[in-house]
A and B are shown apart, each in its own frame.
Chain A
Amino acid sequence: SAVISQKPSRDICQRGTSLTIQCQVDSQVTMMFWYRQQPGQSLTLIATANQGSEATYESGFVIDKFPISRPNLTFSTLTVSNMSPEDSSIYLCSAYTFGELFFGEGSRLTVL
């Protein structure tokens, strides 16, 4: 299995600011992904973090709002830009390895 570490684990932010979430995997993986879980909802894929190229975003998510970096095969960041209360969610990093998808502990973001 893969161990995925995220930080921060939680944060409270002011409207209009930006926050960057870091994700570290304990082994090299080709595929990393970012998911969002809004309060009381299930998970929705934001984007695929591609190493060495621009992330691939799902419908409804754009690079200006959720810029993603993937500098190597073990690390990725997700930035939530110009935050509003509607961005309050748990953001989860995941990696596909050993034939299945593994998740980090998530970053709980509250926007006031």
Chain B
Amino acid sequence: KQEVTQIPAALSVPEGENLVLNCSFTDSAIYNLQWFRQDPGKGLTSLLLIQSSQREQTSGRLNASLDKSSGRSTLYIAASQPGDSATYLCAVLSQRDAGGTSYGKLTFGQGTILTVHP
């Protein structure tokens, strides 16, 4: 059974800092990994998607890396801003679930609550 763990559970930083959020998964046989952002009481916004064959993806100030063999992914946020304050969720689609109608069966981590102070 796939399990996803995110560290730290919460993070509070001053504006302008570069920061790293960590995600680990127990079963390295993954199809892809997604990072999401969730604002309080809201749905999820997809930030980055990394296929199992890729090592990293970048979007603006965000960079996500994937080390499938060690079961780890990191989300790097450069020059953090108060608007980045949210919960960041890592989710994995396992290889055994990638097929037919199973592409939505993601295993989520508990999330990292990020607060960026002005």
Contact = CB atoms under 8 A, between A and B. Distances in A.
B104 A105 contact: no
Contact of A31 (B32, B36, B101, B108): B101
B118 to A, nearest CB: 27
A103 B102 contact: no
Contacts of A4: 43
Interface string A19-38: 00000000000111100000
Contacts, number: 63
A42 B103 contact: no
Nearest to B111: A42
> How extensive is the interface on chain B, given as a class?
20 to 34
Interface residues of A, number: 30
Contacts of A30: 101
Interface in B77-105: 89, 91, 101-105
Given A105-B42, A106-B43, A48 B34 contact: no
B46 interface: yes
Contacts of B101: 30-31, 48, 50, 56
Given A101-B46, A106-B42, A45 B104 contact: yes
Interface of B: 32, 34, 36, 41-46, 49, 89, 91, 101-106, 108-111
Interface of A: 1, 4, 6, 30-33, 41-45, 48, 50, 56, 58, 90, 92, 94-96, 99-106, 108
